[in-house]
Structure 1
Amino acid sequence: MLARYSQIKLAILEQIEAGDMRPGDRVPSENQLTEEFGVSRMTARRALTELVDEGILMRSQGIGTFVSDDRPMSSMLTIRSIHDEITQRGHQHSCQVIQLAEVKACHQMSIWMSVTEGDSLYHSQIVHFENGKAIQFEDRFVNPLLAPAYLQQNFLTITPNQYLNKVAPLTEADHVIEAMLPAMDVAQKLDIAVSQPCLKISRRTFSAQGVVSYAQLYHPGHRYRLGGHLDF
């Protein structure tokens, strides 16, 4: 049986999916949810807060909580698997593996990965889909010493992020976010025009043993957002 806060989340998601609540509509307040579902205010607050963190709702201080626009939103403050992001919105994740190969580190990649130029790296390219629409092109390099079985994984059933967190748990990361126009090959993989702006996230992740991976993540700007909620 679902936890009470999960029941509230599911009820709100079902109303959004059915079109009963549309982007910009105000959702019931904590007090209204408390009365409707017979739960504590803390439980109602948790349901709304998690939906805000997942980008489904947006909170306006002193006004209320509203249905966000219909582009998915990823947190700028946490690193989550794209599969988890999509399924938590109640949508279907699928992917297409473009490449899995062992390559030699070029000069620039040796700097990013803290290896010697010419050392072996694992390289993967995967397109991730949300309800059949391309939402992310993932171009990732991995240190074989920290994830030796990387190329043997079935990335149709587990994402690189999920696998790497199992074998080399994340301790820190740095990333850069920029708006850009995609190169032709990236546009083709995302099924967009080269004139369509993208959000590009360049992310390097570390475990206790060193640099685990360097990934460039491309998202169609009209299908994806970055954001989050901060409490001070």
Structure 2
Amino acid sequence: MAAKFELIKKYILEKIESGEWQENAPVPSENKLAEEFSVSRMTARRALEELSQKDILVRTKGSGTYVASLKSQGSMFEIRDIADEIKERGHEYSATVIELGEIDAIAATAIALDVKIGAQVHHSVIVHNENGKPVQVEERFVNPEMAPDYLGQDYTEISPHEYLSQVAPLTEARHTIEAISSTQQVCDWLKLVKEEPCLQLIRRTSSKQGVVCFARIIYPGSSYRLSGQLTFSDN
């Protein structure tokens, strides 16, 4: 039997998913949830806090708890799997494989992957969908030495991030984030009816053995917002 706080989370997610609770709608208080589910206030608080940590709810001191903006709000300062983020929101995840094969590394790719120019590397272009709507396109160049079976995977069943985490566990990542104008190709991939600003994340990831992959990830500006948290010491 599921823990009581999980039942509360499921209840809230169902209300949001059904559209009964729209963005910015107030969520029942800890006291009301505790009474309705016959649990302690602490249990109700845990459910609300966990959904707040996932940016599904927003808690305001002295005001209450509200449904967060329905824009995707995954933090890009944390290396997370887009499939997990979508599923945690209670939505359906799917992937569309656009390209999957080998490609000769041009200078920029070779430098990023620490391979020779012209060396063959694994290449994929995958569109990630939330409830059937494209929300992210991921172009990835993978060092074959680090993931020799990369091209043999079904990326409609397992995401590239999940697979690479299994065969070459991440130990370091460096990335840059910038706003870009969408090209016609990006519009086609993301099914945008017109060109719009997009957010581009360039990420280079490594394992203990060396550089694993170099990725270009693009989000439509109308569907994503960058969020993160900085912690400062007292010094």
- With normalisation by structure 1, the TM-score equals 0.91
CA contact (8 A) 1:171 1:206 kept: yes
Give the aligned partner of residue 86 of structure 2.
Answer: 86
Distance 1:83 1:31 in 2: 33
1:125 equivalent in alignment to 2:125? yes
Give the aligned partner of residue 56 of structure 1.
Answer: 56
- Going from structure 1 to structure 2, the CA distance change for 1:87 and 1:132 (only over 3 Å counts) comes to same
- Going from structure 1 to structure 2, the CA distance change for 1:77 and 1:8 (only over 3 Å counts) comes to farther
In the TM superposition, what is the alpha-carbon distance from 1:86 to its structure 2 partner? 1.0
In the TM superposition, what is the alpha-carbon distance from 1:135 to its structure 2 partner? 0.6
Residues 151-166 of structure 1: matches in 2 within 5 Å?
Answer: 151-166=151-166
Show CA shifts across 1:74-113 (max 9, x none). 1233222111111111111111111111112111111211
Q: Residue 227 of structure 1 aligns to a residue in which SS?
A: coil
- With normalisation by structure 2, the TM-score equals 0.90
CA contact (8 A) 1:183 1:194 kept: no
- Going from structure 1 to structure 2, the CA distance change for 1:92 and 1:41 (only over 3 Å counts) comes to same
What fraction of aligned residue pairs are identical, expressed as a percent?
50
Give the aligned partner of residue 68 of structure 2.
Answer: 68
Aligned-pair Cα RMSD in Å: 2.0
Give the aligned partner of residue 192 of structure 1.
Answer: 192
Distance 2:105 2:52 in 1: 40
Structure 2 unaligned regions, length at least 5: none
CA contact (8 A) 2:25 2:66 kept: yes
- Going from structure 1 to structure 2, the CA distance change for 1:111 and 1:184 (only over 3 Å counts) comes to same
Structure 1 unaligned regions, length at least 5: none
Distance 1:114 1:65 in 2: 48
In the TM superposition, what is the alpha-carbon distance from 1:5 to its structure 2 partner? 2.2
Distance 2:116 2:72 in 1: 38
Give the aligned partner of residue 139 of structure 1.
Answer: 139
Aligned length: 232
